[in-house]
Structures are given as C-alpha cells and as structure tokens.
Amino acid sequence: MKIEESKRLSSIPPYLFAEIDRVINEKKAKGEDVISLGIGDPDIATPSPVIEELYKEAKNSENHRYPSSYGLKLFKKAASNYYKKRFNVELDPEREIITTWGSKEGIANIAYVFINPGDIALVPDPGYLVYKIGTMFAGGNCHVMPLKEENGFLPDINSIDKEISRKAKIMHLNYPNNPTSATCSTSFFQDVSDYANENEIIVCHDNAYCDIFFNPSNKPVSFFNSKDSINVGLEFNSLSKTFNMTGWRIGFAAGNSSIIESLGKYKTNVDSGVFNAVQYAGAAALDNYEQFLNGNLAIYNRRRNLIFKTLEKTGIDYYRSDATIYVWAKTPRGYNSASFAQHLLNNANVVITPGSAFGEYGEGYFRISITLPDERLEEALQRIVSIL
C-alpha cells in the first residue's frame, strides 16, 4: 500500500532543526567532529532544587494519575506570583493562566483555536517557524511583517494594509526576539495594543526569552505592561531557556480569560495535561527564579562577548543586543546566508543557522547560539576564523 501524507503535512518543508540534527548525525557517523552553534538548547544543568522537587513528587502515587488539561493549581499560582514579581502584572491563576507543554505546543495550537480556513495571521519575518506552520496547518494565510535592522527589528504596524488589518485574526510577536535578539519597549507594545484593540486582533506574544538579558537596568517587558492589552492578549511563557529545562516540556500561557478558556477547550480534546510532578518542579523554579538566573546570565554574557570579539576580528558585522541566547550577524561578502552556512559546515565542521531559514527577510544574516560549553565555543570560533 502506498502511504500518502495529507496535503496539509506535505505542503510544509521539513522542520529546520530536525534537518540540522540529521546533517550533524550523518557527519558524526563518519567520525567527524562537528560543533553545532545552531540550536538554542542550554548546556547548563537544571537547578538542583528543581530536580529534587521532581524526584520527590514523582514518588507520590497521586501524581501518577491523569493531570488537568488546564494545569495544576499550585503551578498556575506560582506563574501568577512570578508575573507579579517580574512584571508587576496581576493575573488570576485560574482564569488567566493555563499550563502548556513548553511554549511551542501552545503557539502551534492557538491557530486551530481561532483561525478558520482562509483567515489571516500576521507573522514576523524573520521569525520562529512555528508561527507560520501552525497557521498553515489550520488552513490560514500568513501576512508577513518584515523585521528590518533599520527599525530595530520591530514590525511597522502602521504600514499594514487596512484591509489586511480588518481580516487578520491573530498577530504573532516575540520579544526578546528569536532570531534577531532584538528587544522592544513598553511604548511599542502600547502601539500594538492600540492597533489590536482597534482591529479586534488577538496578539500572541512569545515571551520565551524574557529572562535572558544582560542589562539589568533595561529588563525585557511583558505585553501586559501596556494599557488594555489584556483585552486582546495571550503571552506564551516557557521554562526551557530561563531554567535550562528544554527537555522537561513545561510552560504556560497567560492572558485574556476568554482566550485561555478557548485554548483549554481545545487542549482537553488533544492532550491530557502535563505530568503533575513536572508542574510541581516548575513551580519550584518559578518561585525562586531570581536566585537561579544570575549564574546563567554570567555564563551567557561571557560567551556572548567572546563571539562579539571574534566577529569584530574577522570584520563581520553583528547586531548588538542585550538579550537572548543568540547572536545575529551579517554574512560576509560573497556569500548568501545558506552558502555561508554550507561553507562553515564543509570546511570547518561548524553548524550555524542561515538567516534565510527564518524567512525571506532573514537573508543576509546568520544566527549563532551561545548554548554550548566554553571550550567547544572557543574551538568553533577558532575554526571559523581559520577559514575566513
């Protein structure tokens, strides 16, 4: 029998980082030493108290039963307390917060909740691919919002056609931004809130990198720090990057109670919730987020500065930001982003992510992740310098 994929699945390209993993594994199978600066997967260990909480709660047989699709009350309360401490934003833990399997699941699923076939989602370009793919899976159409360096990699919402604005159902945003590392201000979020309220658009803000920052006097802000944003907003939060928990698959969505209720209605039909022991551990992380952050940030800042110095030595321009686990740099003359990535892979066994993988407006750039041990990062940078 011939197995045929649905048109929905066959219409999308392979997931970028699955392809990167495939190439790395092929070269490693040949005995080659490949260093990946591609994927943002923290190499630092999850804090010990979080692991200990998981161990304790995993032994409790009460946690071996089905969890709630909406989330453990204790975890949602911890998320609410975190928002109050971190952003001075008050959220009702029962009505305005829902547990998710990290942020990726929620971002992908939100399109199924609100997008009908033919509806429009406003998506940033370059941007995290799941914004587009989730929309496509739901039968929606993507209207690209270009992120240009001359605008600080912020979308120009005033340039969006009025007819597009009228038809759009969702706007995806992500600050601090992947892949560009750009940040935004409360005034920008206020402009977005005003625009979304005027046009009745749901703003889905991906807040995964809000606690990876290097200027304490200018911490990243929440969309909900802007006026009336709760009327239209949903913010996706992940414990993956903040607490080095990418493999745990734990996060939460926060925002408008009706949006949360609709997302919960969808989730009750497609998943059975996050293991309660993981949620207890997640609550322990959120309750103590400040004490866990400083060590991570010192490590990342050291690595980031090492990359900056290396790029300056080679004459490669880069965008200097104060957030995220990425460095966004311009490809050298004579290369496009894909050919430069291929050059490094073929001649240095170093993996970077070409900017074009994040969309048309990522062309001319490449992304470096700082989530690998210092000695491996130094080796990768030495290899890059040696072939430029």
- The whole-number average pLDDT for the span 70-89 is 98
**Helix 374-386 × helix 337-348 angle, to 10°:** 100
- The answer to whether residue 13 scores a pLDDT higher than 80 is no
- The whole-number average pLDDT for the span 312-330 is 96
- The answer to whether residue 15 scores a pLDDT higher than 90 is no
Strand partners, 326: 369
pLDDT for position 16: 64
For 109-118, how does the pLDDT look when each residue is reduced to its tens digit (9 = 90+)? 999 999 999 9
Strand partners, 146: 125
Query: In whole angstroms, what is the distance from residue 171 CA to residue 185 CA?
Result: 17
pLDDT bin (cut points 50, 70, 90) of residue 188 is very high
For 249-292, how does the pLDDT look when each residue is reduced to its tens digit (9 = 90+)? 999 999 999 999 999 999 999 999 999 999 999 999 999 999 99
For every residue of 331-348, DSSP letters joined together read PPTT--HHHHHHHHHHHH
User: Edge-to-edge, what's the strand order for the sheet holding 202-206?
Assistant: 97-100, 251-255, 233-238, 202-206, 168-174, 120-125, 141-146
Task: Please state, rounded to an integer, the average pLDDT across all residues of the chain.
Answer: 95
Neighbours of 113 (CB within 10 A): 18
How remote is the C-alpha of 169 from its chain's centroid? 21
pLDDT for position 30: 87
pLDDT for position 7: 84
Whether domain 7-32+293-386 has CATH 3.40.50.720? no
- The answer to whether residue 14 scores a pLDDT higher than 80 is no
In the 8-state DSSP scheme, what is residue 68? P
pLDDT for position 24: 80
pLDDT for position 5: 87
pLDDT bin (cut points 50, 70, 90) of residue 374 is very high
pLDDT bin (cut points 50, 70, 90) of residue 364 is very high
User: Domain extents for the chain?
Assistant: 7-32+293-386, 48-290
* Fold for the domain defined by 48-290: Aspartate Aminotransferase; domain 2 (3.40.640)
For 21-41, how does the pLDDT look when each residue is reduced to its tens digit (9 = 90+)? 787 888 888 889 999 999 999
For 217-239, how does the pLDDT look when each residue is reduced to its tens digit (9 = 90+)? 999 999 999 999 999 999 999 99
- The answer to whether residue 18 scores a pLDDT higher than 90 is no
- The answer to whether residue 64 scores a pLDDT higher than 70 is yes
pLDDT bin (cut points 50, 70, 90) of residue 195 is very high
pLDDT bin (cut points 50, 70, 90) of residue 17 is low
- The answer to whether residue 205 scores a pLDDT higher than 90 is yes
How remote is the C-alpha of 58 from its chain's centroid? 28
pTM: 0.95
Instruction: With H, G, I as helix, E, B as strand and everything else as coil, classify residue 136.
Output: helix
| Cβ 372 vs Cβ 36: under 8 Å | yes
Query: In whole angstroms, what is the distance from residue 146 CA to residue 368 CA?
Result: 21
